[in-house]
Amino acid sequence: MCGHELKRYWSYCPRCSRSQTWRDSGRITGAECYSCGWIVSDKFSWCPWCGADIYEEGFSSEDPLSAPKGFRKDARCDAGCGGGVQYPMPYCPWCGGMQSWNEDRLFEGNCPHCARGVDDWMNSCPWCGRDATGRDLIPRALRRVRRLLLVSRVGDWGYRLLLRPGISGVDPRYPKIVEIEQRYVTGIRRRDEIPWPMLVGLITHELGHSFLYHHWHWTSSKAFRRAFGEVNKAYRGLDDTWVYFQRRRVAIAPTDHVSAYAARHPQEDFAETFRFYVTRRGRLRELFAEFGRKRKGVVVYEKFLVLHDYLRSLRG
């Protein structure tokens, strides 16, 4: 035990990933599964935790029951045997049928490995024991991003990357949580899988949103507003189409933005400026030379200088 509080019947500790055995330590049912060692009832025919056949003549109930001593009935068996099952049993103790639980209201997201409920803070999935953040699926891109942040001298603001189903993005209410659409990575639909340099672009763009939300007070400064404008103006988050984030070269049009995507909204403008700043390793001289060749507007230089100065001020 690492000391972290566990919910009953979690298979793994979400903090230290140690596997758990929920025995009949309180001597409530007087029975444990021969296979997994978890608490069961003599009345069961199947272990609801590991799915082993535990039928015993004269003990196991011939008919499905609701809830024998030591157990609760939270739902009826999904397989339709008529017996009761308790959350979070993966198997029915009466017929052995697989159970699925709607955990949308219980957890903040879903494990990218087993799709069961997990919370943002969890390192390991309490159900399958694998990396609940999904970061193990994109080690190469993450190593690259960390390296780029380091050489660009962007200090760690405590961001937390999570692979999740849905859309990529950052919720302003949770500025440090950066969600990356897992479909792009796990290739559930192969054609959605994106090459890792693009993933680096997508992640650094989203980190830009996280950085800005985290330092939101900065957006009301005169220098910031002169460069990026009014970031508070009405904005509906877009499903950030990753195809935009593969370019490492500055676009010729539009004149006053580093990329076409940046022209959509001041928040996207900042996220794109941040992406270019980081993926180009904070080398302003090199970037400015490219701006010159591409006849970018003065304000584009200003955006990068404002970010550069702010990063320097953060370093104290």
Q: Which residues contribute to the site for Zn ion (CB under 5 A)?
A: 33, 35-36, 47, 49-50, 52, 77, 79, 81, 83, 92, 94-95, 97, 111, 113-114, 125, 127-128, 240, 268, 271
Residue 89 or 149: the one with the smaller Cβ distance to Zn ion is: 89
Residue 120 or 288: the one with the smaller Cβ distance to Zn ion is: 120
Residue 97 or 254: the one with the smaller Cβ distance to Zn ion is: 97
Min. distance of Cβ 86 from Zn ion in angstroms? 12
Residue 50 or 263: the one with the smaller Cβ distance to Zn ion is: 50
Min. distance of Cβ 260 from Zn ion in angstroms? 13
Min. distance of Cβ 309 from Zn ion in angstroms? 23
Residue 39 or 141: the one with the smaller Cβ distance to Zn ion is: 39
Could you tell me which residues are beta bridge partners of residue 181?
164
Min. distance of Cβ 124 from Zn ion in angstroms? 8
Residue 39 or 148: the one with the smaller Cβ distance to Zn ion is: 39
Residues 297 and 266: beta-carbon distance below 8 Å: no
